[in-house]
Chain A
Amino acid sequence: MPKLKVSLLTGRTINQGKGKEQGKLSEEYQNSVSICQMDPEDIKLLKVRENANVKVTTDFGSVIVKAVKSKRAPHSGVVFIPYGPWASVLANPKTHGTGMPSLKGEIAEIEPAITEKVLSLQELLRTCFRR
């Protein structure tokens, strides 16, 4: 199966901002942060269609998200996941003595995961925290 090595960025989007104000349990919020914005060329390299599920893995965890075409392309080799519980699974907790974890520019691997599903917020919390 094709696999890509990418640089993972996390950050805000207007939909994440709007979604979080509608409530963290709202569908809008969950849909806005369980995605991975990719360069269309990178989606092609993975041999998947737009909106297919992909698995993103870092040294710290791995998570299934939906691959969406980035409107900010071209930025091949760079993928973007909005702040939220999905991005946090992948985040590097090392603070290098500053108190601040490293949330931008982490190395990640990305591969197709068409048969797997994107977990709902509750399911994700249950798998991460066993509560």
Chain B
Amino acid sequence: MPVVSNVTCPVCGSFCDDIEITVKNDVIVKVKNACAMGEAKFLNYASHRQTKPLIRKNGELVEVSLKEAVQKAAEILASAKYPILYGWSNTSCEAIRVGLELAEEVGGVIDNTSTVCHGPSILSIQDIGISSCTLGQLRHRADLIFYWGSNPWSAHPRHIDRYTTFAEGRFQKSAWRGYLSRLTGILSKKRLHRAVNLGLGRQTPSPPETELRLPSTLLQNKRKMIVVDVRKTRSAEIADYFLQVKPNKDYELLQALRMLVRDEELDVDKVTGIPVETLEEIVEIMIGCELGILFFGLGLTMSQGKHRNIDAALSLVRDLNRRTKFLIMPMRGHFNVTGVNVVFTWQTGYPYAVDFSHGYPRYNPGETSVVDILCRGESDAALVVASDPVAHFPNVAAQKLVEKPLVVIDPQVTPTSIMADVVIPSAFVGIEVEGTAYRMDHVPLPLKKVVEPPTTCLSDKEVLQKILGEVRRLRRNHN
């Protein structure tokens, strides 16, 4: 059976490139090296699939030819005054490029999923700047790893393994063994606690999450990991130390750390419930590291303060660089959400929320971002590519999206495609068609083709090119 090696995984922003796929009669039968999420995609992508284009007629979605669907999609977009073109982070850079051309042609707003994930991070990076690097550098050199408001164990399952704490680097060894002994400790502590409760017939609450005394492993000269979050996530459990922050209090904590890094006095005893002495010890460890990295996730960008939280995190890292070497990186979610920002920027000058209605690109998140446009009820049609806003946008916004003509290009059946007026199923990029995507550290990698797509499914790029061609023809005839 043919085995395809070095396949990239088109799921999360870790964009692992070491997957091995066994193919039998053009069907994927075995997946090696991927995590549960990656494996689920490679093995199940084809179940629950719609392969023929659909158009809504008398309230029902009915199968039509590709030509008819493309025609209808082009009519909707060409006749709209202010259409939204949204999605893009789960497709190839090549398709995104055609999408931008289409947005300019129809004078619409093109926005991508970073608007509802790391949009605030981008705003803040534009203000403050970022000291960043590639993941390879961290794998070999980072000795202090922070995950703040991010739960890689669940959202980027192989991140810790491939790039940070558990990776075997050239200059930093994997901290896997230390974790194993810690795990045994945690389990026996939990067991003991339960036994005591059972024996005494009572339910005592478990001890508080943030331990006030820092564990000795943090002082040793080896790779260590600290997790800051509102709950003790799986990632927090495997960390050397977990710092629990109250919901919406990250900004305070970050600013307090900044003050301590700058040797300023804090005239309070506690910050968000954490004693200042504990924070002082943490800052000691930060300053004492050789190369630190702060990965941050949606816990920072989505909670109160939004981009101001990121301002504080970027500034903390800037301050730290006066004392040691420290870097920072957002934990990007979808496999090509970094690519979408890159392609948007090189084509239009802006990373997301780009408005072409004036004939030239304009960027003003809060005004030209898709959730705001929907909430104000300004758009009159939408094209969604490889994304599921109906499931993930706040309901109020999703309702406005569904009220107006909606075209969806997606290989999967999703709540958005179920609600659409025109559905054009495409081939899975990274499984059935090739392309390029950017890993979260801005390293571009190829998406491979391992099996043939169904004959009725073209790539996102080809579908978009057909729609663009048809829109141009309609507009020419109109003029």
**Is A45 located at the chain interface by the 8 A CB criterion?**
no
Contact A21 B395 (CB under 8 A): no
Name the A residues within 8 Å of B365 (CB-CB): 97-99
Name the B residues within 8 Å of A121 (CB-CB): 415
Contact A18 B398 (CB under 8 A): no
Tell me the complex Cα distance, A39–B237, Å. 17
Name the B residues within 8 Å of A72 (CB-CB): 231-233
Q: Which of B59, B205, B231, B398 contacts A88 (CB 8 A)?
A: B398
**Is B230 located at the chain interface by the 8 A CB criterion?**
yes
Q: Which residue of B lies closest to A83 (CB)?
A: B392
Q: Given contacts A95-B372, A105-B304, are A22 and B40 in contact (CB under 8 A)?
A: yes
Contact B115 A99 (CB under 8 A): yes
Name the A residues within 8 Å of B414 (CB-CB): 24
Q: Which of A23, A80, A91, A93 contacts B48 (CB 8 A)?
A: A23
In whole Å, how far is A8's beta carbon from the nearest beta carbon of chain B? 9
Q: Given contacts A21-B37, A83-B392, A96-B306, are A129 and B369 in contact (CB under 8 A)?
A: no
**Is B418 located at the chain interface by the 8 A CB criterion?**
yes
Contact A128 B119 (CB under 8 A): no
Contact A84 B391 (CB under 8 A): yes
B302-334 near A? 1/0 per residue, CB < 8 Å: 111011000000000000000000000000010
**Is A104 located at the chain interface by the 8 A CB criterion?**
yes
Q: Which residue of B lies closest to A74 (CB)?
A: B206
Q: How many residues of A contact B (CB 8 A)?
A: 50
Contact A97 B366 (CB under 8 A): yes
Name the B residues within 8 Å of A99 (CB-CB): 111, 115-116, 119, 352-353, 365-366, 369-372
In whole Å, how far is B229's beta carbon from the nearest beta carbon of chain A? 9
Contact B36 A129 (CB under 8 A): no
**Is A12 located at the chain interface by the 8 A CB criterion?**
yes
Contact A93 B391 (CB under 8 A): no
Q: Which of B153, B299, B353, B371 contacts A14 (CB 8 A)?
A: B153
**Is B394 located at the chain interface by the 8 A CB criterion?**
yes
Which residues 264-316 of B sit at the A interface, judged by CB distance below 8 A?
298-299, 301-304, 306-307
Name the A residues within 8 Å of B49 (CB-CB): 23
Contact A100 B306 (CB under 8 A): yes
Q: Which of B37, B352, B390, B394 contacts A60 (CB 8 A)?
A: B394
Contact B206 A73 (CB under 8 A): yes
Contact A25 B413 (CB under 8 A): yes
Q: Which of B120, B151, B398 contacts A12 (CB 8 A)?
A: B151
Contact A105 B48 (CB under 8 A): no
Tell me the complex Cα distance, A17–B49, Å. 18
Contact A100 B391 (CB under 8 A): no
Tell me the complex Cα distance, A119–B47, Å. 22
In whole Å, how far is B159's beta carbon from the nearest beta carbon of chain A? 13
Name the A residues within 8 Å of B40 (CB-CB): 17-19, 21-22
Which residues 381-395 of B sit at the A interface, judged by CB distance below 8 A?
388, 390-395
Q: Which residue of A lies closest to B38 (CB)?
A: A21
In whole Å, how far is B422's beta carbon from the nearest beta carbon of chain A? 14
Contact A85 B153 (CB under 8 A): no
Q: Which residue of B lies closest to A80 (CB)?
A: B231
Contact B398 A129 (CB under 8 A): yes
Name the A residues within 8 Å of B301 (CB-CB): 100
**Is A89 located at the chain interface by the 8 A CB criterion?**
yes
A19-56 near B? 1/0 per residue, CB < 8 Å: 10111111000000000000001000000000000000
Name the B residues within 8 Å of A122 (CB-CB): 418
Q: Which of B41, B115, B302 has the most CB of A within 10 A?
A: B302
Contact B394 A129 (CB under 8 A): no
- Residue pairs across A and B with Cβ atoms less than 8 A apart, 23 shown, are A7-B247, A9-B247, A11-B151, A11-B155, A22-B48, A23-B413, A60-B395, A61-B395, A78-B231, A84-B391, A88-B398, A93-B394, A95-B375, A98-B306, A98-B307, A99-B119, A100-B115, A101-B371, A101-B393, A104-B230, A121-B415, A131-B59, A131-B402
Known pairs A98-B369, A125-B415. 9 more at Cβ < 8 A?
A: A9-B247, A14-B154, A21-B41, A24-B415, A85-B390, A88-B398, A89-B395, A99-B369, A100-B116
